[in-house]
Amino acid sequence: MKPDLWGPEAAERLMTDLTSVPRPSTRQSPLEQEVFNLRRIGLDQPEPDAPLGDLDRGWFADVSLVVVDAVVARDKRALDALDDLIREVHRVVVGARRDPSEPHDPPDRADQLRSCESWAQLTANYVRSALDRVAPAAAAVRMRGTYREQILRIVADQPGINSRTIRSLINANTPAPQPAGRAPKLMDEGQLSRLGNSLRAEGYVFAERGARGLSWELTPRGEELLDHLSRGSEGAGPHGNGMVITTGSVAPVAVAQMLREDLPPVVSFVRSNDVIKYRRAQRTNTRGQEAGDEQGSVEPVSIDAVIKGLLDDHLGEVPTGFTVGERVYTRTAHSSTIPG
């Protein structure tokens, strides 16, 4: 007897097969907010006839700082936003150069636009290079624990393996059903085909048809991704490798809130004259501070009380540590960027 295709039982069977997909985060990291501020400064039109805002050499220098910080923090979303911004800047500058000059234009406007176009082209190149460096690490975080990771590991262990064997190995590793549970769903040919095609489209594997079907191997990009996967899981939150905070126009309360929500393992405050680095302690603040405890030298100062001073762009006294909720962050480095 075939199961019903309609009705409550069919709907229940459908719901049990569905898996929830978390919504992408809509919160902006501090670096994403810096990109937003760069857009406001560089592309806002103070006058109706002015196609550009405050776009000069200093603006592009600020962009380069965000690129470096985003690579250190593996903040791919910030780099994606910066890539979009630079492309838009280039488009606007090229359009402005093609427009005939107006009588009220400053005499050096043509030279400024020509320089901006060159800077935008150069900046676009190193933003793309930064994305190439960060993308494998970001992709590894998304892929870890999925069928896609299993496929990559199987292909790496057995280069030239065919699709049927890959599917057999994955299904053989599927956990056995519990006494009172439902039997686990096995991978079928269609699902493997979709996953394999997506991996091939992203440049992680390539396949060659032979007598035994498709023969799969890793590409150099796939080997790089697998290397990131083999380094172990990152910390919780989107900033598992650490959070880099620059002294920009982001409100201190927004930075403090981001720290409370993500609790990154390392926080680095990059200022014009120094760099301050804090590391999250293993123990929580509620367990007390015993003799010899690694938190013994940390004053129990809330992040809300010190965040404004940490974002001030000058040398001065910095706290040896601070608390974010029940977590304690201890200062591990304080290096000056002033020569001599």
Distance CA 205, CA 224 (A): 11
Q: Quote the radius of gyration of the chain (alpha carbons, Å).
A: 26
Could you tell me the two tokens for 336?
Answer: 């000056």
What is the structure's pLDDT at 97? Answer: 82
What is the structure's pLDDT at 45? Answer: 60
Tokens 């938190």 sit on residue: 295
Provide block-wise average pLDDT over 10 residues at a time, the chain (340 residues): 61 60 62 90 65 76 88 83 92 84 67 86 86 72 83 88 90 65 75 89 84 82 78 49 71 87 82 82 49 49 90 78 89 68
CA angle 298, 300, 304 (to 5 degrees): 120
- CATH node for 147-173+189-229: 1.10.10.10
Distance CA 167, CA 189 (A): 8
DSSP-derived letter for residue 244 is: E
| Strand positions, DSSP E, the chain | 161-162, 205-210, 213-218, 243-246, 266-270, 274-284, 321-324, 327-336
Distance CA 166, CA 155 (A): 8
Q: How many residues does the chain have?
A: 340
What is the structure's pLDDT at 322? Answer: 93
144: left (phi over 0), alpha (psi -120 to 50) or beta: beta
What is the structure's pLDDT at 26? Answer: 55
Strand partners, 206: 217
Q: Are 226 and 156 in contact (CB under 8 A)?
A: yes
